[in-house]
Amino acid sequence: MNTEDQDTRWMNVAVKLAEKGVGLTSPNPCVGAVIVHENQVIGSGFHEKAGLPHAERKAIADGTARGNAALFADSTLYVTLEPCSTTGKTPPCTEAILEHHFKRVVYGSQDPNPRHRGAAADILGRAGIQVTRGILEKECDHLIRGFRLNMLEGRPWVIAKSAMSLDGRISRSPERSQWLTNEKSRSFVHTLRAECDAILTGGNTMRLDNPSLTIRKPDRPVSSLKEQPWRIILTHNAASIPADSVCLTDEFRDRTLIVENVSSYLELLKNLYNERKTGTVLLEAGGCLVREFLKAGLVDEWVGFYAPIITGGGADGVTGGSFLEREAFLEQPVVSIFGSDVCIRGDVSYR
Amino acid sequence: MNTEDQDTRWMNVAVKLAEKGVGLTSPNPCVGAVIVHENQVIGSGFHEKAGLPHAERKAIADGTARGNAALFADSTLYVTLEPCSTTGKTPPCTEAILEHHFKRVVYGSQDPNPRHRGAAADILGRAGIQVTRGILEKECDHLIRGFRLNMLEGRPWVIAKSAMSLDGRISRSPERSQWLTNEKSRSFVHTLRAECDAILTGGNTMRLDNPSLTIRKPDRPVSSLKEQPWRIILTHNAASIPADSVCLTDEFRDRTLIVENVSSYLELLKNLYNERKTGTVLLEAGGCLVREFLKAGLVDEWVGFYAPIITGGGADGVTGGSFLEREAFLEQPVVSIFGSDVCIRGDVSYR
């Protein structure tokens, strides 16, 4: 394998590590790192939570614990995101890299944080460390799509989730099962919740479905560090939310907020990000609220489940009316199969 | 390989052959046949058109032409459907099998035609020919799902096709492209038309879209024997269909019928089957007509395309209102990807 193939191979390992941090790290990005010496991983780590060490320091600590510190000077550090170069809750990672005289540093994404952007390459380069950037950049950028938006627009990344019939409806006649989608799909929704810092829903969903919005049955293991996401209920009248709702009475009731009469969804999102560090928000709501967010251009990612049922009636997944001024397009949608259900997921662009 | 595996293997070849006849054979079923001698195919064929020889006779003719007739008495004939045992437009296939003293006959589906059902095994068995039935029965039954319905209910199999946005709409704002789905999806629709004997649409679609409903750009080769499917336009007022519509003026205009004020879709379908031998009909229509067919339990198969766009408004793929009394379920839906579009296809059951 040539150097480029090697770089891609090891960066891929770093990406997989970073993915373990999805949903845990807000307001920080998820980052993975591996230290490679003569084609062997001698240390690895990922960022697990804001306040805990960054991925680079985790990898260095791991390599040190494994007795490999003496090899660092002849090793390459692969990290999905440009190492930070300023002091936050933890000291800059560039310092740790310099301390251990790494031979080479390879990173994927440039840090969208204006305080760091592009600085690491200079700092490391001046110390004689070889720096290569942009390896698996697309994949690394995807990992931090929420974080980038947080930095650029000061608001959370919004994932809208909808579970529909083949004719775009989200409800069934009252005598039928509450659910359209199957258990596998619903289990994936629990995993999706684990990717997020808050779940937004509407008063109507609370009154009709009384959801718990918890991570009870994820289809993949969820870190013990994951907290119950905030549950944000948007309503015109707080008193209309039944006092015995699951979200208001269960063990996580202190993670539920009722917000009355929102005049700007953008302001709401900015406040959530600023006050509660919610880097990613999941919109699990009925067609009206989904439509309002789409109209405002505030759905950044779409996760749509389609159950193999035609109901012929019921509430729309996206409430109709006039066309959206800017249609919402899914970029390179990814299709997953959950039993007989289909899930179509992709980042949204408005055109 | 044991006999069972061998049987499955060769029946699979027969199924693939039969598939070449899909859309060509109405009112007959599509059938494929292979003659196997000592693990070699020595003759094969499929039914190409009503009036032309059945698959068994095609395979026998092929084997004979290849100089293999002398081997038939030591060969197995694999055929997807029970050989016919009565004289129709052509003499019974059981006779041809007896004439050539085949050693063994293996078939997949039992013939749903009450004049044949189960008779072949008796006729052949009495002549000392070994008969095995039910090999790849599910696959063979799937091939003749339309034919079975024709036999049992005296009406065509109805495939409803819809191309929707992710929110279940079939139209876009007027200043945008007419199409939601991409060229690959639309090309597959042309192939789908080639599977059918007639295309049903509504007056509104004619007035708004002026479709040609032809097989111009199929994504797979289409037999030169395929005729332009009938184009049936359902309307309350024939005069409302523009006289310069493509369907009324193109080279296939004699294959277009306008039907006014249908009082029963079931009767319409029965008439189409009886008078024009349309074994399979494609419903390519707007949400109102699709809903009417669903309400009547007359959609037998669903082919739904989903384009990666949320329009937020426009006409519904299935017009809303009260729930269907019996929801339409897709049995074991098959998901295909056409670029960024997703196609979900399956047979419908009403529950």
**Nearest-CB residue to B322 (from A302, A309, A313):** A313
DSSP for A126-195, written as a single string:
HTT-EEEE-TTHHHHHHHTHHHHHHHHHSS-EEEEEEEE-TTSB----TTS-S-SS-HHHHHHHHHHHHT
pLDDT tens, A272-281? 999 999 999 9
Q: Give the pLDDT mean for B174-181.
A: 89
Check A344 against B320: CB less than 8 A apart: no
Q: What angle do CA B152, B154, B155 make, to 5 degrees?
A: 115
Residues 6+ apart with CB under 8 A from B268: B234, B259, B262
| Chain B residues inside the 8 Å CB shell of A294 | 310, 312
Residue type at A262 in one-letter notation: V
pLDDT tens, A284-300? 999 999 999 999 999 99
Q: Give the pLDDT mean for B309-317.
A: 95
| Chain A residues inside the 8 Å CB shell of B307 | none
pLDDT at A187 over 90: yes
CB A283 within 8 A of CB A160: yes
Q: What does the mean pLDDT of chain B come to? A: 96
pLDDT of residue B86: 84
Check B342 against A346: CB less than 8 A apart: no
On the CB side of B63, how many CA atoms lie within 13 Å of its CA? Answer: 32
Check A312 against B329: CB less than 8 A apart: no
pLDDT at A113 over 90: no
Known binding-site residue numbers of B for NADP(+): 163, 179, 205, 209
The number of beta carbons lying within 10 Å of the beta carbon of residue B260 is 14
pLDDT of residue A177: 83
| Chain B residues inside the 8 Å CB shell of A317 | 167-168
Q: What does the mean pLDDT of chain A come to? A: 96
| Chain A residues inside the 8 Å CB shell of B335 | 335, 337, 342
Complex prediction ipTM: 0.93
The number of beta carbons lying within 10 Å of the beta carbon of residue B248 is 16
Q: Percent of chain A, pLDDT > 90?
A: 93
User: How many angstroms separate the Cα of B148 from the Cα of each of B25, B30, B143?
Assistant: 14, 11, 10
* B212 vs B208: CA distance, rounded Å: 12
CB B256 within 8 A of CB B247: yes
* A73 vs A80: CA distance, rounded Å: 20
Q: How confident is the model at residue A96 (pLDDT cuts 50, 70, 90)?
A: very high
Give the residue from A185, A310, A330 with the most B CB atoms within 10 Å of its CB, the best one to mutate: A310
pLDDT of residue A117: 84
- Size of the A and B interface in Cβ pairs below 8 Å: 136
Residue A258 backbone phi and psi in degrees, to 5 = -105, 125
* B150 vs B278: CA distance, rounded Å: 9
On the CB side of A8, how many CA atoms lie within 13 Å of its CA? Answer: 6
**B61-64, Cβ contacts within 8 angstroms, sequence gap of 24 or more:** B63/B35
CB B163 within 8 A of CB B181: yes
- Catalytic residue ranges of B: 56
**Nearest-CB residue to A312 (from B310, B323, B340):** B323
Check A310 against B294: CB less than 8 A apart: yes
Cis check: omega of the bond before B27, within 30 degrees of 0 = yes
pLDDT at A83 over 80: yes
Closest chain A C-alpha to B61 CA, distance in angstroms: 43
Check A316 against B167: CB less than 8 A apart: yes
Domains of chain A: 3-148 (3.40.140.10), 154-350 (3.40.430.10)
Check B308 against A330: CB less than 8 A apart: yes
Q: Give the pLDDT mean for B276-289.
A: 97
Is the overall model pTM greater than 0.90, yes or no? yes
